[in-house]
Amino acid sequence: MCRRRFCSLCWDEEKPVAKKVVLAYSGGLDTSIIIPWLRETYGCEVVAMIGDVGQQEDLEAARKKALATGAASASIEDLREEFITGYIWPTLRAGAVYEHDYLLGTSFARPVLAKRQVEIAHQVGADAVAHGCTGKGNDQVRFELTYKALGPELQIIAPWRQWAINSREDALTYATAHHIPVEQSLKNIYSRDRNIWHLSHEGGRLEDPRNAPEEAMWQWITAPAKAPESGAEVTIGFEAGTPVSVDGARLGPVALIDTLNALAAAHGVGRIDIVENRLVGIKSRGAYETPGGTLLVQAHRQLEALTLDRETAHYAQALALRYAELVYYGLWFTTLRESLDAFFTRAQQ
């Protein structure tokens, strides 16, 4: 038996062959170490896909990093407007919130990324797709259900379920051994995910439910105690359940959320610290910052209270719960989710 700690050849003696793999790449710890691992393990060409969903990161630096660590090509895909109009707005119209509090910021970002991966795989003639999701989280399911729905012929490679790296500490050791620069350290071990809708924090001190989130963990929303005492008023305009304006000014989807994010974040709106039931059967604690999204969800609820008749409103509440579960479980590209959309589209008219 090989004694190398992170040997890429030992996980499966009869591993399938992949010649060209499209990787959902972020530049973070997980995906940074996957590029050399894929090349070592499969001897394949790696195509890195960097999806811009409004994460406010240096994506060009990530693209260069992907190339420097062995990707044959790397592209930045601007998915922000598609993400908002095709995923966020339908979920908002449905009033879908998972387990009372979670506004699904990570959940509905995965299908749009995976969809673009499959599209690129078809364009470049790839025979496999890969992601950097762990074997204990929800995201692996969200990516893979989308792959199966849109590209069932593609092989799926999930390194975190295959290699001998079992923790972030192991991943950092691998990165150091392969001279891969990463921002995480053994002292700064939070796992974060950001897009135009939210910023999530997991791991670190949050693993112990007795620990309150430290103030230094929050990166976006002003501490409520330090927010302006005077508050602010904002008017959000909707058409058929879709936000279209702020204080009377019509805005495109990206500008509208950016505007509300800035306002809400400055006033300390949108922080939550929750424990949720993961799809994979374990409980997970997460701290989330969703400034503009919190305003939109609350405004939409008040709008429905004014406009929907009782029977429609009560039935919509029941369906909203199911819609939230479908989004959280990664079942975006399903007949049921699309059918629920038809109901909510009619109800919002």
Q: Strand order of the sheet with strand 236-239?
A: 236-239, 242-246, 249-250
Q: Give the burial string for 84-110 (b: 16+ CB within 10 Å, else e).
A: bebbbbbbbbbbbbbeeebbbbbbbbb
Residue 171 in any domain: the answer is yes
pLDDT at 3 over 60: no
Residue 328 in any domain: the answer is yes
Calculate mean pLDDT across residues 131-159: 96
Compare 179 and 227 and report the one with higher pLDDT.
227
Q: Are residues 58 and 198 in the same domain?
A: no
Question: CATH number, domain at 287?
Answer: 3.90.1260.10
Q: Are residues 218 and 320 in the same domain?
A: yes
- Judged on CB neighbours under 10 Å (0-12, 13-18, 19+), 123 is exposed
pLDDT at 2 over 90: no
What's the pLDDT tens digit per position in 318-346?
Answer: 999 999 999 999 999 999 999 999 999 99
Question: CATH number, domain at 117?
Answer: 3.40.50.620
Q: What was the pLDDT predicted at 185? A: 55
Residue 246 in any domain: the answer is yes
Q: Give the burial string for 297-311 (b: 16+ CB within 10 Å, else e).
A: bebbeebbeeebeee
Q: Are residues 121 and 165 in the same domain?
A: yes
Q: Are residues 215 and 278 in the same domain?
A: yes
How many other CB atoms are found less than 10 A from the CB of residue 345?
Answer: 15
What is the C-alpha separation between 171 and 175, in angstroms, rounded? 6
Q: Are residues 334 and 257 in the same domain?
A: yes
- Domain-ending residue, one of 177, 202, 226: 177
Q: What was the pLDDT predicted at 186? A: 56
- Mapping DSSP to helix (H, G, I), strand (E, B) and coil, where does residue 198 land? coil
Q: Give the burial string for 227-241 (b: 16+ CB within 10 Å, else e).
A: beeeeeeeebbbeeb
- Domain-ending residue, one of 133, 152, 177: 177
What is the C-alpha separation between 269 and 292, in angstroms, rounded? 8
What's the pLDDT tens digit per position in 198-225?
Answer: 999 998 899 999 999 999 999 999 999 9
Tell me the percentage of the chain whose pLDDT exceeds 90.
84
Q: Do strands 249-250 and 242-246 pair parallel, antiparallel, or not at all (unpaired)? A: antiparallel
Calculate mean pLDDT across residues 61-86: 98
Residue 336 in any domain: the answer is yes
Per-residue pLDDT band at 167 (split at 50, 70, 90): confident
Q: Are residues 158 and 273 in the same domain?
A: no
Cite the active site residues: 30, 110, 139, 191
Q: Are residues 145 and 227 in the same domain?
A: no
Q: Are residues 139 and 61 in the same domain?
A: yes
pLDDT at 9 over 50: no
- Domain-ending residue, one of 155, 177, 199: 177
Rounded alpha-carbon distances, angstroms, from residue 103 to 76, 88, 195, 218: 26, 10, 13, 17
Whether the full predicted model's pTM is greater than 0.85, yes or no, is yes
Find where tokens 């966020």 sit.
88
Per-residue pLDDT band at 196 (split at 50, 70, 90): very high
Cα dihedral sign, 177-180-183-189: negative
Tell me the percentage of the chain whose pLDDT exceeds 70.
94
Find where tokens 């995923």 sit.
87
Domain of 249?
191-347
pLDDT at 75 over 50: yes
Q: What was the pLDDT predicted at 7? A: 41
Q: Are residues 216 and 137 in the same domain?
A: no
Q: Are residues 216 and 293 in the same domain?
A: yes
What is the C-alpha separation between 284 and 106, in angstroms, rounded? 14
Residue 316 in any domain: the answer is yes
Residue 91 in any domain: the answer is no
Q: What was the pLDDT predicted at 233? A: 97
Residue 15 in any domain: the answer is no
- 3-state DSSP of 110-167: HHHHHHHHHHHHHHHCCCEEECCCCCCCCHHHHHHHHHHHHCCCCEEECHHHCCCCCC
pLDDT at 6 over 80: no
Average pLDDT, rounded, for the chain: 93
Residues whose CB is less than 8 angstroms from the CB of residue 117 and which lie 6 or more positions away in sequence, other chains included: 22, 24, 49, 129, 147
What is the C-alpha separation between 121 and 5, in angstroms, rounded? 32
Residues forming a β-bridge with 75: 49
pLDDT at 260 over 60: yes
Per-residue pLDDT band at 28 (split at 50, 70, 90): confident
| Total domains present in the chain | 2
Per-residue pLDDT band at 267 (split at 50, 70, 90): very high
pLDDT at 183 over 90: no
Residue 9 in any domain: the answer is no
Q: Are residues 247 and 164 in the same domain?
A: no
Q: Are residues 274 and 134 in the same domain?
A: no
Alpha-carbon 5 to chain mean position: 30
pLDDT at 47 over 50: yes
pLDDT at 4 over 90: no
Cα dihedral sign, 129-130-135-138: negative
- Output the six-digit token pair for 32: 């940074």
Q: Percentage helix, strand, coil, to 5, in the chain?
A: 45, 15, 40
Calculate mean pLDDT across residues 103-126: 99
DSSP per position, 261-318 = HHHHHHTT--EEEEEEE-TTS-EEEEEEE-HHHHHHHHHHHHHHHHHS-HHHHHHHHH
